[in-house]
Amino acid sequence: MNRRGDSTRFQLPDNLAVAAIGDGRGQWLERLPGFVEALATRWSLRFGPPFQPGGQTAWVAPVEDSAGTPLVLKVLWRHYEAEDEAEGLAIWAGNGTVLLHDSAVIDDQTTALLLERCRPGTALSTRPEEEQDRVIAGLLVRLWREPPPGHPLRPLSEMCAQWADEFEEVAAQSLLDRALVAKAMTLIRELPGSAEREVMLCTDLHAGNVLAAEREPWLVIDPKPYVGDPAYDILQHLINCPDRLRMNPDRLLRRMTALTGLDTDRARLWLFARCVQESIGSPWLTEVARKLEPGEPPVL
């Protein structure tokens, strides 16, 4: 492992390099080696090459502290959905998630997290989907806790309103069915406010974000915490099971709601809305949305 992040040895994960250049984050990439070097000094770290191919918004690498403790350093380009990752991890305190050892705000574009390292670190996505269902359902039920008083986490309604605004602008230039879009965006805006209970949400939990570990069999990484309707939180896993979702969305939905104790009818409305929203980049989801489309406007 290296002690410093000098440019002669610094490596970029493939996905981060492509995404950051495409998003105009070239200057941020140029500053990234300096951030890593400063953090290595701040936390007395030795670090290895970053995980490949990596994600699109963070430089993530295995590190060791001065005591030889295996950890992970995550240097994150700050973006809207993941703004409160450190705060959420601190509240969960390792109950189903990786432990947060420390965090730092570097500047208005960059934050850093020092995290528990999962070993062996194999992703749940390597396991059969039926096993994924059970593991993800069990983790979600543990994550759905009432947030403490004075918490900083944002409401799910805030993210959904922004998504609806952005989607409607893009959809207006597309060939998507206008009535389908209108029905889905109405649900995206209204469902958060009609939830019977509000809990801490992961919002991006799928099998690629669950790793095999020693402290627990499976731990969640990379949560994007919000507070809101738990029925929302199964959606990313469902969308990440395309064969089963396409073949019989109701069967898959009923399986996950049975495992989590959620209301199936409410989760179906959420899934319909998200399928329409995601159909711009994944046109096959329009077919799924048609199968889930509610008839008369639902009473929320």
Whole-angstrom Cα Rg for the chain = 20
Catalytic residue among 204, 222, 229, 233: 204
DSSP 150-208: T--PPBHHHHHHHHHHHHHHHHTTS-S-HHHHHHHHHHHHHGGGG-S--EEE-SS--GG
What is the largest distance, in Å, between two alpha-carbon atoms of the chain? 62
Nearest 5°: phi and psi at 60? -130, 125
Q: What CA–CA distances, in Å, run from 239 to 99, 224, 278?
A: 27, 17, 9
**Cβ-based neighbour number of residue 54 at 10 Å:** 19
Beta strands in the chain (DSSP E): 46-47, 58-64, 70-77, 100-107, 110-116, 199-201, 210-212, 218-220, 226-228
Is 14 one of the annotated active-site residues of the chain? no
Q: At what angle do helices 284-292 and 178-190 cross, to 10 degrees?
A: 70
Question: Which amino acid would we find at residue 226?
Answer: Y
Q: Which sequence positions are flagged as catalytic? A: 204
